[in-house]
Amino acid sequence: MEHAWDQDKIIRVDMTRLSITIEDFPSAWKLLGGRALSAKILLAECDPTCDPLGPDNVLVMAPGTLSGTAAPTSGRLSFGCKSPLTKGIKEANVGGNPGQDLMKLGYRAVIVTGQPADRERRYGLKVNESGVELVPADDYKGMWNYALCEKLLADQPKSASVISIGPAGEMMLKGASIACTDDNKARRPARQAARGGVGAVMGAKGLKWVLVDPAKRSLRRPDDRKGFSAYVKEFAKDYRASRHANFKYGTSAVVPAANMLHTFPYKNRTEGRNPEFEQLDGARIRESFETRGGEMHACMAGCIVSCSNIVHDKDGNYKTSALEFETLTLLGSCCAINNWEDVAELDRLCDELGLDTIETGAAIAVYMDSNGMPWGDAEGAKKLLAEDVNNGTELGRNIGDGALAIGTARKHHRIPVAKGQALPAWDPRPLKATGITYCTSAQGGDHTAGLVIDPKISGEKAAIASQEVQIVNAVCDSTGFCMFLGPTIEETAKFFTPFFGETVTREQIADIGWECLADEWEFNDRAGMTLADDSMAECMSTEGIGPEHSMKFDVPEEIVRMAKVRQPATEKFWRRSPAG
């Protein structure tokens, strides 16, 4: 019997030889996609000791296993490489349409290796029904992402989507992101695979953009069409009835709750609450819809969450999308920039230049904290990005290289990072389990690796909670589902079974998550990382926040390390029945 995935392929792009080869996708990996697939490829093909910005690094673009299918909100795309920021393995996950479009064409991964001899040249990759082609793209050199996409898509059908980097990626700044265009109506490069400097690796390869056009290719066909369709409808109905309200207004709505929990960092995390948080509350964005336009929308085809806000300026013109909680926190509160409209402009600048808003906001906060510029100087922050970063000044490069780079350059004592990567909004001092994730995840300070928003959990229970959610998130990043859809391991198995036409158990899905984590830890071990790297920035342990500044990250090392070893309690989590 012929299956939909039997003809799946891998695209290999050799940037040294400027050549392309297409090979069959290994049948043994049929359940793997996204982050789990990226980790397998990197562990097998990338020298963990390599220079992240040199020719030996490998950039993997891997759609989730169910991307390109009718499964709701399942089209996410993973970018994997050795991170120039953490010096370990990194996966950055993104929405938009390119992941679905690659899978409709039957491409399970794009593997980019090597480096052009002429480092000043730029190239583009065209992927469509006719094949795959590497073309000169020197006329896009230095372009900001929005102008690039407008130019590239001007003569393309509405079915096309784009993956691109801005000037930050071309300059190989360690905080550089990779942009993906959103839904096929506007096709704006507003979806960012942001963390870990993946954009710098793409820039080091001389690859400026990837244009993907599936034309009229249909969705990927499941083996058991009726069974798959029935479960898609059942799941979507249940989600809308019981879970959708949690994300109805997007992540910006989280601001008041985060501030209450002392995890809305203020002035480079010297406090966990912002006295002016209401000016950054997502409710202000929603209120603007009535007079300026804008709306909540889906960033990819087939999304039933629609958590992305489209933000307009005072004249009703499009400004950015989406203005999320992390951006409001790091580019806003952490810098004492307490006006959501200023943050919207900074967000747009980051998307244009191709910069991670978390890393960049943390870097600016460290710069302010070290007396480089006044707290709350929004115009100064905009100038830092539009002029210094864009023009590659010494200061601009330090900001673009992230919090650790600018903090080190200024000999500052307060640099909130884990494995060299800036901590996201969720503070490890009130949220111990999340702090354990930052320490033990191969990804470093990244909330998407395993966020636990429960300040009551501590001790061994925190380590177990961290491990469990790291497994769940690794599965989610591997399947193509968005975390805001939140399918459980059982629900994921129920999607896989009819799609592949064979029983896929809960245990198999959980094993995908654990094996992904194990592969990532192994990569970092080979890269030379040790237990000493599984630690939190000293300032998080010595400087408190909250009542009497009593909240500190004070989790003992032996508890932190538990998250990397399979625990008896976690085994029960893996093997329990749906009712358990």
Count CB-CB contacts under 10 A for residue 345.
Answer: 21
Own/partner contacts of 20-27, CB < 8 Å, gap of 24 or more, are 20/132, 20/133, 20/134, 22/131, 22/132, 25/108, 25/109
* pLDDT on residue 248: 78
Average pLDDT over the chain reads 95
Contact 380, 368 (CB under 8 A): no
Does the structure show a pLDDT above 90 at 61?
yes
Predicted local confidence at residue 184, as pLDDT: 67
Q: Which residue, chain included where needed, has tokens 């928003």?
A: 453
The DSSP-derived string for 215-243 is TTPPPPPPSSHHHHHHHHHHHHHHHHHHT
**Sheet strands (E) in 476-563:** none
Beta bridge partners of 179: 164, 192
Query: What pLDDT, on the 0 to 100 scale, is given for residue 223?
Result: 95
CA-CA distance, 100 to 321, in Å (whole number)?
Answer: 20
Write down the pLDDT at residue 466: 96
User: Could you give the 3-state DSSP secondary structure of residue 97?
Assistant: coil
Residue 20 class from Cβ within 10 Å (0-12 exposed, 13-18 middle, 19+ buried)?
middle
Which residues, 6+ apart, have CB-to-CB distance to 195 below 8 Å? Answer: 90, 92, 177, 356, 358, 359, 421, 443, 446, 448
Please report the pLDDT score of residue 576 as a whole number. 56
Cβ atoms of residues 430 and 553 within 8 Å: no
pLDDT tens digits, residue range 327-378? Answer: 999 999 999 999 999 999 999 999 999 999 999 999 999 999 999 999 999 9
| DSSP line for 407-448 | HHHTT-S---EETTEE--SS-TTT-HHHHHHHHHSTT-S-GG
Q: How far is CA 142 from CA 200, 208, 354, in A?
A: 14, 9, 11
Q: Characterize 533-546 residue by residue with b for buried, 16 or more Cβ atoms within 10 angstroms of its Cβ, and e for exposed.
A: bbbbbebbbebbbb
Above 90 in pLDDT, residue 82? yes
**pLDDT of res. 486:** 85
Alpha-carbon distance values, 192 to 45, 196, 246, 297 (Å): 25, 12, 22, 16
Tell me the C-alpha distance between 53 and 12, whole Å: 19
Closest to 311 (Cα-Cα) out of 285, 277, 279: 285
CA contacts within 13 A on the Cβ side of 473: 23
Between CA 174 and CA 401 the distance in angstroms is: 4
pLDDT at 574: 65
Closest alpha carbon to 302 in 463, 485, 119: 485
The 10s digit of each residue's pLDDT in 135-149 is 999 999 999 999 999
As a whole number, mean pLDDT of residues 2-20 equals: 91
Give percent of the chain with pLDDT exceeding 90. 93
Q: Kindly report, residue by residue over 257-293, the tens digit of the pLDDT.
A: 999 999 999 999 999 999 999 999 999 999 999 999 9
Q: How high is the pLDDT of residue 275? A: 98
In this prediction, residue 578 carries a pLDDT of 41
d(CA 31, CA 432): 33
DSSP 246-294: GGTT-GGGGHHHHHHTT-S-BTTTTBS--TTGGGG-HHHHHHHHHHH--
Radius of gyration of the CA atoms of the chain, in A: 22
Mean pLDDT of 493-508: 96
d(C-alpha 10, C-alpha 58), whole Å: 14
**Taking the CB of residue 311, how many other CB atoms lie within 10 A of it?**
26
Domains of the chain: 4-213 (3.60.9.10)
Band of pLDDT at residue 58, cut at 50, 70 and 90: very high
**What distances in angstroms separate CA 405 from CA 55, 158, 323, 556, one per listed residue?**
23, 41, 26, 28
What integer is the mean pLDDT of 541-548? 97
* Residue (of 470, 469, 445, 400) closest to 553 by Cα position: 445
pLDDT above 50 for 480: yes
Nearest to 113 by CA among 11, 35, 212: 11
Packed helices 506-526 and 489-500: angle between N→C axes, nearest 10 degrees? 100
171-205 pLDDT per residue, tens: 999 999 999 999 867 899 999 999 999 999 999 99
Please, which pLDDT band fits residue 577 given cuts at 50, 70 and 90? very low
Peptide bond before residue 322 is cis, with ω within 30 degrees of 0: yes
Q: Residues of the chain with pLDDT > 70: what percent?
A: 97
Residue 21 has pLDDT above 50, yes or no: yes
For residue 5, the model assigns a pLDDT of: 75
Query: Phi/psi of residue 485, each to 5°?
Result: -75, -40
Q: pLDDT tier at 580 (50, 70, 90 boundaries)?
A: very low
Find out whether 496 and 509 touch, Cβ atoms under 8 Å: yes
pTM tops 0.95, yes or no:
yes
